[in-house]
Structure 1
Amino acid sequence: MKQVDELNLFKKFIVEQGYSLVVVKNGFVLHKTRGEGLKPFLEAIDKLQHKIHYSTVLDKILGKASALLCLHSKAEKVYALNATVEAKNILKKRGVTVYVSETVDHVRNKAGDGLCPFEKLVEKIDSPYEAYMVLKKKVYEWI
């Protein structure tokens, strides 16, 4: 495997090729996937387990729910196309480096007329582990 720059990977996979999530560690791609919602991230956590720790997460949309999953997976850096102020603050307070193309007020649902259901689920949750368990349970209920 060839080691590459994370910013170039972000541009290539997220911006140009439309992947929804890419996990990079020490310059190598560990996981890349397309999909909607948080299912791709939850699958990456389950598949990679401890290998995801201290990695860089390249994500399309970063809200509170995915920020808590980044903390649960012990991400060191996060790149995102769009991120909420709350998500950026959650990560920065815990020492995670965050790079964002555009800051948004909220992560919207598919219809665009309300808050993302995953964001609603974690509104009152601050624990990364609790968020992971709640989100995982809900995602697999919806399948």
Structure 2
Amino acid sequence: MSRSNLEVVKKVLQEESELSFVLQDSEKKLYKRTEKGIAPMMVLLETGEKPFAGGVIADKVVGKAAAFLAVYGGATALYAGIISTPALEVLRSFGVDCEYDKEVPFIENRTKTGGCPMEKAVWEVTSAEEAYGILKKKVSK
């Protein structure tokens, strides 16, 4: 995937303010989602088609949970408006090209009273497969 593909999804995310997530798959098909958190990634991963494989992602906020989902799905590059340091470490350790606007120590929960529960759920995890399993159970509750 070229840097130009990453620019495409980044531009779509920035221009269409209602979007939270944009994916361009390996065949250049665009997937646009508006759900919050990791929901857009989980929805696409649950189709079983592996739409991330060879694709590029643009997401407004990427914590460690979302980073593991990008890796699990086979994304090659990712842009984040805001990214946590642990998410950046995951993406770099798995060779996912990454671009972002702002790095933060952790992702806050929606009420700004602590850390994101999804990021916390995989804080100590090192495997994308294990993270996906944990997140799938957490989302289904």
Q: Corresponding residue for 2:90?
A: 90
Cα distance between partner residues in 2 of 1:44 and 1:22: 11
Q: Corresponding residue for 2:39?
A: 39
1:17 equivalent to 2:16? Answer: yes
SS at match of 1:54: coil
Q: Please show how residues 64-79 of structure 1 align to structure 2 within 5 Å.
A: 64-79=64-79
Cα distance between partner residues in 2 of 1:51 and 1:115: 29
1:112 equivalent to 2:117? Answer: no
Q: Which runs of 5+ in 1 are unaligned?
A: none
Q: Corresponding residue for 1:61?
A: 61
Cα distance between partner residues in 1 of 2:68 and 2:117: 15
Cα distance between partner residues in 2 of 1:20 and 1:31: 11
What is the percent sequence identity of the aligned residues? 28
Deviation at 1:30, TM superposition (A): 3.6
Deviation at 1:56, TM superposition (A): 0.6
Cα distance between partner residues in 1 of 2:54 and 2:67: 14
Deviation at 1:83, TM superposition (A): 0.4
Which TM-score applies when normalising by structure 1? 0.87
Q: Corresponding residue for 1:124?
A: 124
Mark the CA change 1:23 to 1:48 in structure 2 (over 3 Å): closer, same or farther. Answer: farther
* Higher mean C-alpha displacement, 59-68 vs 86-95: 86-95
Q: Which runs of 5+ in 2 are unaligned?
A: none
Deviation at 1:98, TM superposition (A): 0.1
Contact (CA 8 Å) 1:22, 1:57: kept in 2 or not?
yes
Q: RMSD across aligned C-alpha pairs, in angstroms?
A: 1.7
